[in-house]
Structure 1
Amino acid sequence: MIDIIIPLTIFIIAGYLIAKNYDAKAILFIAGLSLLYCAVFAGKIILDEKESTGVIWLDPLKMVTLIFIKQLGNIGLTIMVLFGFSSYMTHIGANDVTVHLLTKPLKKIKSPYFLVPVIFLLGNLLSLVVPSASSLAVLLMATLYPVLKFSGMSTLTAGAVIATTATIMPTPLGADNVLAAEKLGIPLVEYVTYYHAPVSIPTLFLMAIAHYFWQKFMDKKQVVEDTGIDKDKLHIVQDLPPSYYGLFPVLPLLFVFVLGIFFKEIKIGIIEITFICLGIALCVELIRKGKVKETTKDLGIFFNGMGAGLAQVVSLIVAASLLVEGLKKQGTIDMIINSVENIENVGIFLTLIFTSATAIIGFISGSGLAVFYSFINIIPEITAGLNVNSVSVALPMQLTANLIRSASPVAAVIIIVAAITKSNPFDIVKRTSIPVIIGILSTLILSILLFS
């Protein structure tokens, strides 16, 4: 009984603290170490004889070292390199050019409600270039918001659409997709193409339709005075580089799909492709500016971005992995399998449980990714023991983790949009909630139908 009470207590406390906006990495790390030391107290073996320090009380710390080494391998390096590339693209202005080029034709459209689904879908497309929801929101508020207001769109409608632009685009460049594919044992491009896209793309179109009708309904029901825009919170770029720079941010994506479809005999991964694209951008920068010292110095932005990837994502994955190791040593995973193996439609049951937990904690804390990074480590083991397709459980949880952010009043993207538009975050959430709920239900239903 104690083997159930201890992990459950630690897990509830960790979930509560994360929901209260304590640092997720620190909480998961402490929870994982606590579980490992509880296992030591119970006389359980943490590491085998080859890996053990020889002192059982030091083995949990050795476990931390082993997890860091493992996660800083292919998956950690991939995420760090992608973060570095994105940072460099932002620094040279390539991301701004891409956004400017794709949004420029929208200035000719004068129908505000026709723009609602268009902006939503275009914004999600732009998340391929700017994966950070808050960064993309600031960029779109600076470039698109004035256009939307000129078309006659209300402040809250424009804010709500922009707040839901970075959600669930299927891309092999997303950190969550890199991790999910690795943990589920599926090649990255295959996971994105054959599993993620068949669920996420129809969901995005359903959300676009929901946005159209919901914003139209809310505009009639809720008349809010236009308070203008806080320009001090915007990052407006005046001098953009040449238009061809807009191609640089999407080069890795183009390389991935061209090589994956037409040159399958070439065995090259995301890391190598990203470095090739970085080299192309560096050469163009050198030729255009003609300043070797300045261009090579700017390369430091790439490495700073890698550091940000380590701090923001890889460290969270390490902390989540430590928590999972603690659950394993406590025997919690085996207990979960034994307790649900006789339940009818156990796959659907697990999908609903994991997705609900992600949605609840994500709504309260403003981010469901910490929950996803924790659970994705144990899902393959649980589903394998129950003969359930891992994708049917992991995919809706992953998509919900990204979607729920746009319906949380404490999420960074909501707070940013509310601050710039001088609106109440709860007013923005009222406008995003229905499209997000429809998106979550769609991912659940499609995942169950296609992969259960």
Structure 2
Amino acid sequence: MLSICIVIASIAAAAYLIFKKYYAPGALLFVGLITLGVVACISPDPLITGKKATHLAALDVIQIFTNLLQTRTAGLGMNIMAIAGFTYFMDQIGASGALVRLSVKPLKLIKAPYIVMTLGFILSLILNVFIPSAAGLALLLMVSLYPVMVMGGISRQSAAATILVGGCCCFGPSGGNNLLAADLTKMHVMDFFLNVQWTIGWVAVIAMLVAHFFIQRWFDKRDLAKGILTKEDFEVPQLTKEDAKAENAPLWYALFPLIPVILLFVFSPLMYKGIRMEVVTALLVSTFVALILDGIRRMNLKESIGTIKTFAQGMGKVFTSTVFLIVCAEVFAAGLTKSGGIAEIINSVSGMQAGGYAVFTVMFLIVVGSAFVMGSGNAAFFSFAPMIPDIAAKVGLNAAFMISPLQLASGMARSSSPIAGVTIAIAGLSGLNPFDLIRRSIPVMVIAIIATYLRSLMLI
């Protein structure tokens, strides 16, 4: 019982600190180290055994952090940093902006406002495959898709909510959480995306699209009739302009962000096994191709080579924001695991008649609740995902189909949180209150979360 109390206290402490806007990685690391320290004091067993052990309990607490930092930075961390470097480079040369502008053009031809909104939602989900940052994608869409939807006849609230929920799933091989999930399940990232994530996700997508169409239309009609909305809410506000480089980039630059996904798909176990293509290699090949073609267009070798600096800057930025968060979250998860509370909860739930399904339900609810309270899908998912393979083995369930719904649901819960970075960013650009956004996103996300859970029960 003491171990379960430690788990509950640790989760509550971490959630409280993050809710109070403490630096999320620092909060998770702080609570994780304290939890490990408590466990070291009360447990007769050492925290670390084997070659990595320091043979001093106090040092073992820090050594766990050291081991995770070394392992994650060299493997998964390098993949995530390379993706970030590529994303920043694509932004610098204007390729991301070109992809969004090209994608938005057909929507301007359609006159049915809520059809445009739904197609905009689909477009957001597709673009999220190639632009994995929910906040980054949202900022691009706010200066391109957002005005198109409002001019089409929907309210600013509906348009902003569409962009908020559009990045909720993080489909594809590019997101850090997808890379972690593939790594934990020992699967190729494209195999995980197509045969696991999408197998679950398509049901949630259909549920979201139908729900979003009717819910936003209902909100607009009801709020307009009650006077909550006025005619001004159906007019395009002034937004910040896109960067000049992004506006001047030719539309064929939109091909550049697609190259890594194409390479990973073609040279994967799903298509051609003769060539082994790693994520970092695909990103570097794509970067060099884009660099050469951009250099030819610029006809300025110094300026073109200088853009590669953005790649390195992007790698550095994502280390502080994501890779370090993963390591800190895993220290937090290690504290929960070493306490024995997670094992005790699993054993208790496993003894129920529902068995493994009850364990999955408990983990699912914990991740959803954590993501909502923390305002971060990554923080919640990274904290609990490393536990899943062992849990799945103990209860006889498929680890991949346990991990994927947690990843999907964590993003959906984040898109329902008023303190999520993407929510605040969209609210700031649209001039709306974050709570105006989540009152429209929560019903859609709840339906999507339920659909994800029910679909997962069929597969695990």
TM-score by length of 1: 0.94
Deviation at 1:435, TM superposition (A): 1.4
**1:12-161 matched pairs, under 5 angstroms:** 12-42=12-42, 43-161=44-162
For 2:338 and 2:207, the matched residues in 1 are separated by: 43
The answer as to 2:428 corresponding to 1:444 is no
The structure-2 alpha-carbon separation of the partners of 1:232 and 1:189, relative to structure 1 and needing over 3 Å to count, comes to: closer
Q: Confirm or deny: 8 A CA contact 1:93 1:240 kept in the other structure.
A: yes
Per-residue CA deviation, residues 165-187 of structure 1 (Å, 9 max, x unaligned), is 11215301111110011112222
Residue 279 (1) aligns with residue 280 (2): no
| Residue aligning to 1:206 | 207
Residue 219 of structure 1: aligned partner: 220
Native 8 Å contact 1:85 1:305 kept in 2: yes
**2:257 matched to which residue of 1?**
249
- Where does residue 299 of structure 1 map in the other structure? 308
List aligned pairs for 1:365-404, cutoff 5 A. 365-404=374-413
Q: How large is the RMSD of aligned CA atoms in angstroms?
A: 1.9
Q: CA deviation at 1:86?
A: 0.4
Provide closer, same or farther for how the CA distance between residues 433 and 55 of structure 1 changes in structure 2, counting only shifts above 3 A.
closer
Counterparts of 2:214 and 2:142 in 1: how far apart (Å)?
A: 22
- The answer to whether the Cα contact below 8 Å between 2:151 and 2:236 also exists between their aligned partners in 1 is no
Question: In structure 1, what is the Cα distance between the partners aligned to 2:420 and 2:213?
Answer: 23
Residues 164 and 64 (structure 1), Cα distance of their counterparts in 2 relative to 1, 3 Å cut: same
Equivalence for 2:442:
433
1:334 corresponds to which of 333, 340, 343: 343
Amino acid at match of 1:335: E
* Contact kept in structure 2, 1:36 and 1:329, CA below 8 Å: yes
1:153-198, Cα deviation, whole Å (9 max, x unpaired): 2222212112211121530111111001111222222211111001
Match status 1:231 vs 2:238: yes
Deviation at 1:49, TM superposition (A): 4.9
| Aligned residues of 1:214 and 1:431 also touching (Cα < 8 A) | yes
Q: Helix, strand or coil: the match of 1:323?
A: helix
Distance 2:10 2:149 in 1: 47
**1:85: Cα distance to partner?**
0.4
- Runs (5+) with no aligned partner, structure 1: none
1:310-325 alignment, distance < 5 Å: 310-325=319-334
Task: Measure how far apart 1:47 and its partner are.
Answer: 2.2
CA contact (8 A) 1:20 1:365 kept: no
Contact 1:324 1:377 in 2 (8 A): yes
The count of corresponding residues between Structure 1 and Structure 2 is 451
1:241/1:235 Cα in 2 relative to 1: closer, same or farther (>3 Å)? closer
What's the counterpart of residue 360 of structure 1? Answer: 369
Task: Report the CA distance shift for 1:39/1:111 in structure 2 as closer, same or farther (over 3 A).
Answer: same
The farther-off stretch of 316-325 and 93-102 is 316-325
Paired with 1:343 and 1:231, the residues of 2 have a C-alpha distance of: 57
Deviates more, 1:162-171 or 1:241-250: 162-171
Measured in 1, the distance between the counterparts of 2:127 and 2:97 equals 10
- Map of 1:407 onto structure 2: 416
TM-aligned CA distance change 1:60 to 1:108, over 3 Å: same
Identify if the C-alpha distance between structure 1 residues 56 and 405 changes in structure 2 by more than 3 Å, giving closer, same or farther.
Answer: closer
Report the alpha carbon displacement of residue 90 of structure 1 after superposing the two structures with TM.
Answer: 0.6
Tell me if the contact between 1:333 and 1:382 (Cα under 8 Å) persists in the aligned partners. Answer: no
Are 1:240 and 2:241 counterparts?
A: no
Distance in 2 separating the partners of 1:239 and 1:275: 25
Q: 2 CA distance for matches of 1:62 and 1:386?
A: 30
Give the gaps of 5 or more residues in structure 2: none
Can you list the C-alpha shifts for 1:82-134, whole angstroms capped at 9, x where unaligned?
01100100111000000011111111111101112111001111112322222
In the TM superposition, residue 334 of structure 1 has moved relative to its aligned partner by 3.1
Seq. identity, %:
31
Partner of 2:358: 349
Q: Is the 8 A contact 2:367 2:384 kept in 1?
A: no
Find the aligned partners of 2:173 and 2:275 in 1 and give their Cα distance: 17
The one-letter amino acid of 1:17's match is: L
Please list the CA deviations of residues 356-383 of structure 1 after superposition, one character each: whole Å capped at 9, or x if unmatched. 2222232233223211101001111122
2:440 alignment partner AA = R
After superposition, what is the alpha-carbon deviation per residue over 1:417-438, rounded to whole angstroms, capped at 9, x for unaligned?
2232322222222222221111
Amino acid in structure 1 at the alignment position of 2:25: K
**Residues 1:161 and 1:78: Cα distance change in structure 2 (over 3 Å):** same
Native 8 Å contact 1:28 1:323 kept in 2 = yes
Distance 1:49 1:292, change over 3 A: same
Whether the aligned pair in 1 keeps the contact of 2:147 and 2:236 (CA below 8 Å) is no
By how many angstroms is 1:234 displaced? 5.1
Instruction: Give the Cα separation in 2 of the matches to 1:155 and 1:183.
Output: 41
Quick one: which amino acid aligns to residue 220 of structure 2? Answer: D
The DSSP-based 3-state class of the residue aligned with 2:192 is helix
Q: CA deviation at 1:330?
A: 2.6
Q: CA deviation at 1:236?
A: 5.3
Residue 181 (structure 2) pairs with residue 180 (structure 1) = yes
Given that 2:4 and 2:342 are in contact with CA atoms closer than 8 Å, whether structure 1 keeps it comes out as no
TM-score by length of 2: 0.93
Q: Contact (CA 8 Å) 1:37, 1:60: kept in 2 or not? A: yes
**Which is worse superposed, 146-155 or 158-167?**
146-155
Counterpart contact for 2:10–2:336, Cα < 8 Å: no
Q: Is the 8 A contact 1:321 1:377 kept in 2?
A: yes
Matched, 1:308 2:317: yes
- Alpha-carbon distance in 1 for matches of 2:376, 2:140: 20
